[in-house]
Amino acid sequence: MSSLLIYLHGFNSSAQSNKARLLHEYLGQRGLSHRYASPSLPHRPTQAIAMAEAAMAGRPGSEVCFVGSSLGGFYATHLAEKHQACAVLINPAIDPHIGLRAYLGAQRNLYTGEKYQLTEATLREWQDLGVPRITPDRYLLLVESGDEVLDYRQALDFYAGARQVVVEGGDHSLQSYPRHLPAILEFADTHGA
């Protein structure tokens, strides 16, 4: 059985984000739509993890490849280690409990319009979900050096030993994303069941 690719979106994003749509379209053009899932993750971290695990639909981790962007990359790392799955990480957040502290207070999801409060409790949940070390061969890391939100060098350090693709320039959206779609599918196929 081929791996299910579960796309995990970033902070204040949704399952309808541009990268999610592009991956779904790419798989659909190859008759592989059945291998795609993208839950709209709740803003509470533990609920987001539960929803991502529900998207696994009872499959073991060996039959799943998470594709996570920014905060979704943080979630993908937690899930890959917990379920012995593989993950493709796109400009991933490493320590959201630190990096997103500046956003405490009122928030609004850019896609859904949902309003909520980012609280200290949320920061603690992110801290609790962090993994102290990774299993490098589970990961494909995709970063651009021009990321204006996260320092790509932190990702290079944290995912040392993993397969890493660094594109000079670009930004946090990973401008080069479309050209990586074949590598994402190949990685899922060679690292999954």
- Domain range list for the chain: 4-191
pLDDT higher than threshold 70 for residue 1: no
Backbone angles phi, psi at 132, to 5 degrees: -70, -30
Q: Which residue shows structure tokens 């399952």?
A: 15
**Are 136 and 160 in contact, with CB atoms under 8 Å apart?**
yes
User: What CATH fold (topology level) applies to the domain 4-191?
Assistant: Rossmann fold (3.40.50)
Query: Which two three-digit tokens encode residue 6?
Result: 């579960």
Residues whose CB is less than 8 angstroms from the CB of residue 161 and which lie 6 or more positions away in sequence, other chains included = 136, 137
Query: At 193, is the pLDDT very low, low, confident or very high (cuts 50, 70, 90)?
Result: very low
Looking at residue 157, its pLDDT comes to 97
Note the pLDDT tens digit of each residue in 24-59: 999 999 999 999 999 999 999 999 999 999 999 999
Note the pLDDT tens digit of each residue in 60-89: 999 999 999 999 999 999 999 999 999 999
Q: Taking the model in full, what pTM does it have?
A: 0.96
DSSP conformation class of 94: S
pLDDT higher than threshold 50 for residue 17: yes
Query: At 173, is the pLDDT very low, low, confident or very high (cuts 50, 70, 90)?
Result: confident
**Are 89 and 140 in contact, with CB atoms under 8 Å apart?**
yes
Q: What is the mean pLDDT of the chain?
A: 95
Looking at residue 111, its pLDDT comes to 87
Looking at residues 162-179, what average pLDDT do you find? 93
Query: At 192, is the pLDDT very low, low, confident or very high (cuts 50, 70, 90)?
Result: low
Note the pLDDT tens digit of each residue in 129-167: 999 999 999 999 999 999 898 899 999 999 999 999 999
3-class DSSP assignment, residue 36: strand
